[in-house]
Amino acid sequence: MKKYLSTAVVLCLSLSAVSQKFDKQIEKMVAQTEREVIEWRHWFHQNAELSNREFKTAERITSILKEIGYEPQTGVAKTGVVAVLKGGKPGPVVGLRADIDGLPVKERVELPWASNMTGEYNGEEVPVMHACGHDTHLSILLGVAKMLWKMKDEVPGTVKFIFQPAEEGAPRGEEGGAKLMVEEGVLKNPDVDAIFGLHINAQTSVGKLKVRSEGIMAAVNSMRIDIKGKQAHGSRPWNGIDPVVTAAQIINNLQTIISRNMELTEAPAVITIGAIHGGVRYNIIPEDLYMLGTIRTLNAAMRTSILQRIREVATKTAEANNAEIEIWIDEGYPVTYNETGLYKQMFPTLERIAGKENVEIIKPITGAEDFSFYQKEVPGLFFFIGGCPEGTDPTTVAGHHTPDFYVDDAGMALGMKTMMGLTLDYMSK
């Protein structure tokens, strides 16, 4: 027994020594690389592009990787970029992923590097900005790629850098995002053993980190509901079939699915209608309209039940109003699930890199992430880093996907440190 205990102690001390050695090296390299990473971030922010249309973004990522020394693969899942670093020592294969797409949002933050980009969304020209921080994610990953290249002879394994398009969802009628990357074999050749991803958060202070085991983000489905009625003069509604009134009733009735059909003590769930399009004039009842919405769930059985009830409730409500209805619900993303074994193995790394006082174990949130498609194939760990500026109350800042969204450049340093630490610790262990 003493022999085994001694061996365990020696192993722990050895791993600790390796970690401390790398930690000092990481700290120094992050300080040397941070300014360049910030410059990259500003360029990507200023040149934001929509999902599956990240052409300039992918071109710049490729250019930077080539300058470092990589031979990146381009055109993965349409506009994705993948690079591989083979370390100087044998070991496992680690995947590191960053999303690269922006959103159809008009930026209101006054920045020298604010986005003035436009793109096409649902057939309309729209403004585009990085309203969710993907510009920081991809810049962090480029920084990590540069630092690991500098120390590649010491790296005990292989690293696959995955710059993924269309996390916010491919345009309707197109494939894209993590699902398509997996289908095209991004986790193969070499086969990835574990994958790590992060998300910057505007409501978390710079230097802080948030994580949890098992489900950390919800499954998501998008839906479209088309309602066809009969056009009439607004002063004579009895001559028509009103799709606007029908839509209003459907919206209210859908909320009863959550409040009256779901056992919310098991897990939270959300149904939100985010857009209604129909009508052109105040005194004309339109012939038709359509609604767009999102469904968020953290329990597989509840998800199945909710999707079924949406179809039942919307269809019966339309029938009661003599209106015709069509319902489209996409395949969506599964729950973002931090595999327990990997979480337990790497949690000490997060505490060591960020400091125990800066790591918070959170409740699951109803936001969603297609990082979950990688986690369906291999163990994965997903976590949040802070982007709220020092001295600012995180509860007062603008949320993600809004025109006033902002995250501080200073938040990226912790992102680089954690991705470096997770990679090297996982390989060493």
Domain CATH number, residue 110: 3.40.630.10
Question: Does 8 map to a domain?
Answer: no
DSSP H helices, 355-394, are: 372-375
User: Average of pLDDT values for 103-114?
Assistant: 98
- pLDDT, residue 21, reads 74
Do 358 and 232 reside in the same domain of the chain?
no
CATH at residue 313: 3.30.70.360
- Which of 329, 362, 381 is the C-terminal boundary of a domain? 329
Q: Is residue 15 part of a domain?
A: no
Q: What is the mean pLDDT of residues 167-176?
A: 92
Same domain, 232 and 176: no
* pLDDT tens string 277-305: 999 999 999 999 999 999 999 999 999 99
Structural domain includes residue 10: no
Query: Residues 361-419: pLDDT tens digits?
Result: 999 999 999 999 999 999 999 999 999 999 999 999 999 999 999 999 999 999 999 99
Kindly state whether residues 243 and 183 are assigned to the same domain. no
Whether 147 is in a domain gets the answer: yes
33 plus 138 within the same structural domain: yes
pLDDT tens-digit map of 53-97: 999 999 999 999 999 999 999 999 999 999 999 999 999 999 999
Q: Which pTM was predicted?
A: 0.90
Which amino acid is located at 371 in the chain? F
| 157 φ/ψ sector (left φ>0, alpha ψ -120 to 50, else beta) | left
Within this chain, do residues 64 and 199 fall inside the same structural domain, yes or no?
A: yes
pLDDT of 149 over the 80 cut: yes
| pLDDT digits 0-9 by tens, 320-358 | 999 999 999 999 999 999 999 999 999 999 999 999 999
Instruction: Give the confidence band of 159 by pLDDT, cuts at 50, 70, 90.
Output: very high
The number of residues in the chain equals 429
Domain membership flag for residue 18: no
**Number of domains observed in the structure of the chain:** 2
* Closest by Cα among 349, 353, 364, 288 to 323: 288
Q: How many CB atoms lie within 10 A of CB 152?
A: 15
pLDDT category at 13 given cuts 50, 70, 90 is very low
pLDDT for the residue 155: 98
Q: Is 14 a member of any domain?
A: no
Mean pLDDT of the chain: 95
Confidence of residue 172 (pLDDT cuts 50, 70, 90): confident
Burial status of residue 12 (CB atoms within 10 A of its CB: 0-12, 13-18, 19 or more): exposed
Asked, for residue 129, whether it belongs to a domain, the answer is yes
Residue 160 and residue 84 share a domain: yes
Res. 7: pLDDT tops 80? no
Domain closes at, from 329, 346, 375: 329
Domain extent at residue 248: 219-329
Regarding whether 324 and 281 lie in a shared domain, the answer is yes
173 and 137 housed in the same domain: yes
Same structural domain, 132 and 38: yes
pLDDT band at 20; cut points 50, 70, 90: low
| 104 and 205 both lie in a single domain | yes
Confidence of residue 122 (pLDDT cuts 50, 70, 90): confident
- Whether 269 maps to a domain, the answer reads yes
Among 311, 329, 347, the domain-final residue is 329
My answer on whether 202 and 67 are in the same domain is yes
Q: What CA–CA distance (Å, rounded) separates 213 from 375?
A: 13
Give pLDDT, residue 114: 98
Q: Are residues 43 and 170 in the same domain?
A: yes
